[in-house]
Chain A
Amino acid sequence: MSPLDWIVLAVTLSGIITYGLYKSKTTKNLEGYFLSNRSFSSSLILLSVMGTQASAVTFLSAPGQAYTDGMRFVQYYLGLPLAMVVLCITFVPIFHKLKVYTAYEYLEKRFDSKTRTFTAGLFLLQRGLSTGISIYAPSIILSSLFGWNIYLTNIFMGGLLIIYTVSGGARAVAYTQQFQFIIIILGMVTAACMVVHLLPDGVGLMDTLRVSGRLGKLNVITSGVKEQGFDWSDRYNIWSGLIGGFFLALSYFGTDQSQVGRYLTARSVAESRLGLLLNGMIKVPMQFCILLVGALIFTFYQFNQAPLSFNQSMVEKVSATPKADSLRHMQAEYSALSEQKRELVHSFIRGHQQGMVDEAVSAELKKVNAATDQLRTHFKTMARNTVAGDANDTNYIFLRFVVDYMPKGLVGLLIAIIFLAAWGSIAAALNSLASSTVVDIHKKFFQKGGCTDREDYSISKWYTLGWGIFSIAVAQFAGNAGSLIELVNILGSLFYGVILGIFLVAFYCKNIYGNATFWSAVLVEGVVMILFWQSDLGFLWLNVIGAVGVVLASYLLHATLFSKRLSAKT
């Protein structure tokens, strides 16, 4: 990075920390620290909810995902708007009416103490690990690209935001998220414009769309149906997106405290609802645009030679092994293919501009792309068998492009954006982990006698700090993880379905009580784990199985083992 990039990075990050500290003044009690006295408007709720969901992984992995697998990943978000509607009808009014601090508090009012503790425990486990990955994901990429020490990068990535998160609680988190999100969107728009600007003269946006479409990257909607019928192992198609994505989004926004904690800060039910509904309208097109950046970068690399692996450190490591000769041979072949690709894509576009689609050129272009893909796969296999490190380079594609082709200053801004995106989601996660630990565990089991507002405030700050240190520790031990955006989503899908099932029983199955629900949840969580390890089922379906499984098992246990008399609350 150039000195100008370092200056831009330092100014942006220190500006956010200063702003976070400036906005840290809050009432020194639980409601002030965790809910900012329920005072936020819908616009702040919207940006806070979006900033919490969109982590650094979103901006790093999504363009790479489009580059390698096409834009069909956007289908993952199709269930989200419908989930927002259900949330606004059911979850939001109940949480506001009961004036809870955490979503799990409601479960004790509705069921019993053990169901609340079990659900809070699942959340803390899942969110604690995910937050560690959220720190590690951008750190490993930045450290590989710039040669930074991974342990120090983790500490830098997860440590600086702790300053304002511990100091200002929910208020500092929301205000910084608002600022961060605006910078992120501006940066991504600039990146997209730069990709188009860097294309050869005479090649416009429509031409790039034609190329990426013809090469299978604009597969925005897919049916999941193959020759043998519906493919249940296909991760992203319209049905898994609408159904599985709906359950995942409902669970994430309705039962994950990192999101519930955001809209509980609204000054009214209407402000919460409006923020969530606007999120439902903006999220899908926003994700589409981020993926489109990846598709544009893919087309850009039709005109310019892409690296054999976007993770350059892996290439360097393999070069230092006895496989160096094979690698040189592979790179020579790759360069020749890239040259062929460049000529073919020019002739494909010329044909289109003259109104003549040359199918032979198009078929040849596809063939050459398949050959380069095959070489990239060979390299990954060779790298995996030869050296330690992340052979999957999906997460490196966007930043490699930024570092190689963006002008000075803009590189620093885009690196800052990665930090800001990470901080937005990590800060909300730490705040929610602390609130659930304090409200659902500490005050319930370790502090039954009650304490002053000051003591509550002080304990909350210590727990926020503690979770921050825990998350950094998880990041230090995180290993090779493939596509990190998928890993975070898979981790969520292991628990979210069951948690959602518990809440669905609570909201909609009036005659079912604590014991039946609790044991159903334990049972179904076991089934979800077995399915995950033993089957090829696409992970989005685990959300459906978890949620529907808990509801059905609760009915079954209620009708058989737990009669109303036995399972009713005392």
Chain B
Amino acid sequence: MIVPPDTQQTQEKVPLFPSWNYWYALVTGWLLLLIALFFFITNRFA
């Protein structure tokens, strides 16, 4: 049976951050920031 490996199983060096979880948080945070910006644009110019 093949199970989804978690980030701990990957031995390769993670660029810039101590673990991939920081990258995932960065991408999610960036998305939230974009949504907030889009929301602002919609309200500001509508």
Contacts and interface: CB of A to CB of B under 8 A. Distances in A.
Contact of A98 (B2, B7, B13): B2
B6 A270 contact: no
A74 B38 contact: yes
Contacts of A81: 27-28, 30-31
Nearest to A81: B31
A74 to B, nearest CB: 7
A182 interface: no
Most chain A CB neighbours (cut-off 10 Å) among B4, B6, B15: B4
B42 A218 contact: yes
B36 to A, nearest CB: 9
Interface string A96-118: 01100000001001100000000
A496 to B, nearest CB: 20
A94 interface: yes
B24 A238 contact: no
Contact of B28 (A82, A268, A285): A82
A219 B46 CA distance: 7
B39 A221 contact: yes
Interface residues of B, number: 30
A235 interface: no
B27 A218 contact: no
A273 B27 contact: no
B12 A89 contact: no
Nearest to A206: B45
Contacts of B2: 94, 98, 106, 109-110, 506
A82 B35 CA distance: 13
A93 B35 contact: no
A210 interface: yes
Contacts of B44: 213
Nearest to A273: B20
A220 B1 contact: no
A270 B13 contact: yes
Judged by DSSP, the binding face of A is helix
Judged by DSSP, the binding face of B is helix
A89 B7 contact: yes
A277 B4 contact: no
Interface in B1-46: 1-7, 9-10, 12-15, 20, 23-24, 26-28, 30-31, 34-35, 38-39, 41-42, 44-46
Contacts of A74: 38
A506 B44 CA distance: 46
A270 B14 contact: yes
Contacts of A268: 12
Interface residues of A, number: 44
A93 B9 CA distance: 9
Contacts of A97: 5
A523 interface: no
A242 B38 CA distance: 14
Nearest to B44: A213
A277 B27 CA distance: 7
Interface in A54-89: 74, 78, 81-82, 84-85, 88-89
A510 B1 contact: yes
A462 interface: no
Contact of A219 (B1, B23, B24, B42): B42
A74 B42 CA distance: 12
A284 interface: yes
Contacts of B1: 510
B28 A238 contact: no
Most chain A CB neighbours (cut-off 10 Å) among B9, B13, B46: B46
A138 interface: no
A288 interface: yes
Contact of A214 (B3, B6, B20, B45): B45
B24 A88 contact: yes
Contacts of B45: 209-210, 212-214, 218
Given A89-B4, A213-B45, A84 B27 contact: yes
Interface of A: 42, 74, 78, 81-82, 84-85, 88-90, 93-94, 97-98, 106, 109-110, 209-210, 212-214, 216, 218-222, 238, 268-270, 273-274, 277, 280-281, 284-285, 288, 506-508, 510
16 contacts: A88-B23, A88-B24, A89-B7, A94-B2, A98-B2, A110-B2, A212-B45, A220-B42, A238-B35, A269-B10, A270-B12, A270-B15, A273-B23, A274-B23, A281-B30, A508-B4
3 shortest A-B CB distances, which residue pairs?
Answer: A213-B45, A220-B38, A270-B12
Interface of B: 1-7, 9-10, 12-15, 20, 23-24, 26-28, 30-31, 34-35, 38-39, 41-42, 44-46
Given A85-B24, A93-B5, 5 more contacts: A42-B15, A212-B45, A269-B10, A277-B23, A288-B34
